[in-house]
């Protein structure tokens, strides 16, 4: 990794964890700067010494930064981008950690055109926990990080961004914004929606059933504790791919309900065995 | 706990873990006996010394047992019950660990009528792992165990069975077989079916998406690695309550898909917030 000053915009779980992970690299030539909107967040970040510069003002954070990372909610990115664009140089690499990429790239790409080098990132290292207090230096260890250059992106910038996330411990994959969004709709947004819908279904059908949950329910619904406002925004920004995923899920559920009704044990077992085979394959991925 | 000999029928995850948990009680007056159908399983259980008596013959295992626990697949229980009924006394307490209770109680109740005291149990301590090699002495620590006496059950027998599971570390709740089945359809069987269906949906829609899974997908689908034959049997034995749960889930998913489509952010956020509130309440339950 070849950056001398990293500016992190937003002191949430991801922003703070990036700061902690960079600090752990113990690179004396690397300056870590963190911007937070609220003065209380600035004070907290300062008292925990998670960055060399912490400020509610953009100028000291952005000054001479050669990597800028947006770690704010997707809906706040464009306005912030307009503010920082005059503060950076043509060579500055700019990225974000948003969970949706087509809409972010479409929104930030034009703002930074000819003013910086922008490429979207999505480190899949979230948690149902939020904020600086949940931050961890090892949050990115072995996490998948997708980077999504558009057609305008320079080859060099892709390499530099890949090196950055790998230095934090990520396994990096490069793909298009659209491809990214279709994939996360299936493996991230749909699971979140299912977890929430499962909790609401059980509670709606029989409220007392929630008093009888075992480990299966615990794990399948853990992510339903995630922040509702953030997930609402993610769902809205990825509406069409998510809609396709939900429809595919409903169709598959209807199919399996028909199988269960038919009493065709072999077909039910084949359905479960196919899922087990695929899921077993993932185990190495999670280690 | 006031038993002097516990006969465990079946050396799988639950049967073996019960043996290990009983051994850990270090009660010199308690004999632990284990029956296994296959001689290989007998040899493995003997070499690991998980019980005082291990045999593929029922007689030495059943002789003088005052508690008998069926830990075999639900579909094998009735045939085994017919075999052991002549080997036990009117005072013997008999239970099982099946995940479904109405069908088990309806099947075993009449077999043991006037020949033993039968009450169903369901310790919710399964795992996606199976067999003796996955057994753990602490599997039941803090696990929920439901016991489901029918109208014929004696009050004393309920107390003795409750004491037994509590000695193994379970939190015990008493409810009717039907109530049990409706509850587990919602909080155990539906989550399993969803986990398998989610894996099959993602794989079916975009096979490469499984290469991009994060912690959310990992946790929501962990139980899809469970044994397909066992779960097929569970689903079949609990068909009607499961069908109701699946239908309720499909309806709720359709509702939320409509919300997403409508662009009504407040309603989407309220849906997610309701799920978060209920899920957050469960956290203490899992500690």
With beta carbons less than 8 A apart as the criterion, state whether B136 and B17 touch: yes
Average pLDDT over residues B148-164: 94
* pLDDT of the residue at A284: 80
With beta carbons less than 8 A apart as the criterion, state whether B89 and B116 touch: yes
Structure token pair of residue B287: 């500690």
Residue A143 or residue B1, greater confidence: A143
A133 burial class (0-12, 13-18, 19+ CB within 10 angstroms)?
Answer: exposed
Structure token pair of residue B230: 């066992």
* pLDDT of the residue at A166: 98
* Residues B243, B234: Cα–Cα separation, whole Å: 13
* pLDDT of the residue at A92: 97
Q: What is the pLDDT of residues B7-28, one digit of tens each?
A: 999 999 999 999 999 999 999 9
Closest partner residue to A216 among B191, B209, B244, by Cβ? B191
β-partners of residue A131 are none
Cα B21 to the center of its chain, rounded Å: 16
Q: What angle do CA A137, A139, A143 make, to 5 degrees?
A: 140
Assembly ipTM: 0.88
Average pLDDT over residues B43-56: 96
Quick count: other Cβ atoms within 10 Å of Cβ B42? 18
Helical spans, DSSP H, in chain B: 13-24, 39-47, 58-62, 77-84, 102-112, 155-167, 177-184, 190-205, 215-221, 228-237, 239-262, 265-282
Which residues of chain A neighbour B249 with C-beta distances below 8 Å?
Answer: 197-198, 201, 253
* pLDDT at position B47 over 90: yes
Closest partner residue to A220 among B195, B211, B272, by Cβ? B195
* pLDDT of the residue at A287: 56
* pLDDT of the residue at B161: 98
Which has the closest alpha carbon to B36: B24, B22, B53, B21?
A: B53
Which has the closest alpha carbon to A198: B251, B234, B158?
A: B251
- Average pLDDT score over chain B: 95
Average pLDDT over residues B76-100: 97
Average pLDDT over residues B214-230: 93
Q: What is the DSSP letter of B179?
A: H
Distance from CA of B158 to the nearest CA of A (A): 19
* pLDDT of the residue at B287: 56
Average pLDDT over residues B150-159: 92
Distance from CA of A37 to the nearest CA of B (A): 23
Which residues of chain A neighbour B201 with C-beta distances below 8 Å?
Answer: 186, 190, 245, 248-249, 252
Helical spans, DSSP H, in B168-227: 177-184, 190-205, 215-221
Distance from CA of A54 to the nearest CA of B (A): 30
Which residues of chain B neighbour A211 with C-beta distances below 8 Å?
Answer: 173, 285
For B69, the 3-state DSSP assignment is strand
Give the count of Cβ contacts less than 8 A between chain A and B: 311
How is chain A classified by DSSP, letter by letter? Answer: ---SEEEEE--SHHHHHHHHHHHHT--TT-EEEEE-SSHHHHHHHHHTT-SSEEESSHHHHHTT-SEEEE-S-GGGHHHHHHHHGGGS-TT-EEEE--S--HHHHHHHHHHHTTTSEE-EEEE----S--SGGG--TTTTTT-EEEEE--TT--HHHHHHHHHHHHHTTPEEEE--HHHHHHHHIIIIIHHHHHHHHHHHHHHHH-GGGGGG--HHHHHHHGGGGS-HHHHHHHHHHTHHHHHHHHHHHHHHHHHHHHHHHHT-HHHHHHHHHHHHHHHHHHGGGG-
Best of B180, B208, B279, B283 to disrupt the A interface by mutation (most A CBs within 10 Å)? B279
Q: What is the DSSP letter of B62?
A: H
For residue B145, give the H/E element and its range. Answer: strand B144-148
Torsion sign across C-alpha atoms A224, A230, A236, A239: negative
Distance from CA of B61 to the nearest CA of A (A): 31
Distance from CA of B187 to the nearest CA of A (A): 6
* Residues A260, B189: Cα–Cα separation, whole Å: 12
How far is the first Cα of chain A from the last one, in angstroms, to the nearest whole number?
A: 25
Which residues of chain B neighbour A272 with C-beta distances below 8 Å?
Answer: 196, 224, 226, 228, 231-232
Best of A97, A194, A204, A285 to disrupt the B interface by mutation (most B CBs within 10 Å)? A194
- Closest residue in chain B to residue A221, using alpha carbons only: B220
B29 burial class (0-12, 13-18, 19+ CB within 10 angstroms)?
Answer: exposed
- Closest residue in chain A to residue B140, using alpha carbons only: A214
Pairing of strands B120-123, B93-96: unpaired
Distance from CA of B186 to the nearest CA of A (A): 6
Distance from CA of A255 to the nearest CA of B (A): 10
Which residues of chain B neighbour A242 with C-beta distances below 8 Å?
Answer: 260
CB contact under 8 A, B250 and A250: yes
- HSE toward the beta carbon, residue B195, CA cutoff 13 A: 33
Residues 6+ apart with CB under 8 A from A152: A109, A113
Best of A130, A220, A235, A273 to disrupt the B interface by mutation (most B CBs within 10 Å)? A220
Determine the angle formed by the axes of helices A102-112 and A177-184, rounding to 10 degrees. Answer: 150
* pLDDT at position B283 over 90: no
Residues in chain B: 287
In tens digits, what is the pLDDT along chain A, a chain of 287 residues? 889 999 999 999 999 999 999 999 999 999 999 999 999 999 999 999 999 999 999 999 999 999 999 999 999 999 999 999 999 999 999 999 999 999 999 999 999 999 999 999 999 987 767 889 999 999 999 999 999 999 889 999 999 999 999 999 999 999 999 999 999 999 999 999 999 999 999 999 999 999 998 889 999 999 999 999 999 999 999 999 999 999 999 999 999 999 999 999 999 999 999 999 999 999 887 65
Best of B245, B249, B281 to disrupt the A interface by mutation (most A CBs within 10 Å)? B249
CB contact under 8 A, A213 and B278: no
With beta carbons less than 8 A apart as the criterion, state whether A95 and A121 touch: yes
Pairing of strands A53-55, B5-9: unpaired
Which residues of chain B neighbour A236 with C-beta distances below 8 Å?
Answer: 260, 263, 265, 268
Torsion sign across C-alpha atoms B215, B216, B217, B223: positive
- Closest residue in chain B to residue A226, using alpha carbons only: B276
């Amino acid at each position: 990794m070849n950056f001398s000053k990293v500016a992190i915009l937003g002191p949430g779980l991801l922003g703070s964890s990036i700061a902690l992970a960079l600090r752990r690299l113990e690179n004396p030539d690397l300056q870590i700067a963190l911007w937070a909107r609220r003065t209380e967040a600035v004070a907290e970040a300062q008292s925990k010494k998670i960055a060399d510069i912490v400020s509610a003002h953009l100028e000291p954070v952005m000054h001479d930064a050669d990597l800028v990372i947006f770690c704010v909610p997707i809906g706040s990115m464009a306005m912030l981008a307009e503010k920082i664009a005059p503060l950076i140089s043509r060579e500055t690499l700019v990225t974000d950690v948003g969970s949706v990429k087509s809409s972010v790239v479409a929104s930030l790409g034009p703002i930074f055109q000819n003013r910086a080098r922008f490429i979207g990132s999505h480190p899949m290292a979230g948690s149902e926990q939020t904020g600086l207090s949940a931050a961890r230096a090892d949050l990115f260890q072995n996490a998948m990080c997708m980077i999504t250059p558009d057609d305008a992106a320079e080859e060099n910038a892709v390499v530099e961004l890949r090196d950055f996330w790998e230095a934090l411990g990520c396994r990096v994959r490069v793909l298009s914004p659209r491809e990214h969004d279709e994939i996360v709709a299936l493996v991230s947004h749909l699971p979140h929606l299912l977890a929430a819908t499962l909790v609401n279904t059980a509670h709606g059908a029989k409220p007392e059933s929630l008093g009888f949950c075992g480990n299966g329910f615990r794990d399948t619904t853990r992510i339903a504790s995630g922040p509702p406002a953030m997930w609402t925004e993610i769902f809205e920004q990825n509406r069409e791919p998510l809609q396709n995923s939900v429809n595919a899920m409903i169709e598959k559920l209807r199919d399996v309900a028909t199988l269960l009704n038919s009493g065709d044990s072999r077909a039910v077992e084949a359905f479960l065995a196919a899922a087990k085979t695929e899921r077993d394959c993932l185990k190495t991925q999670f280690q």
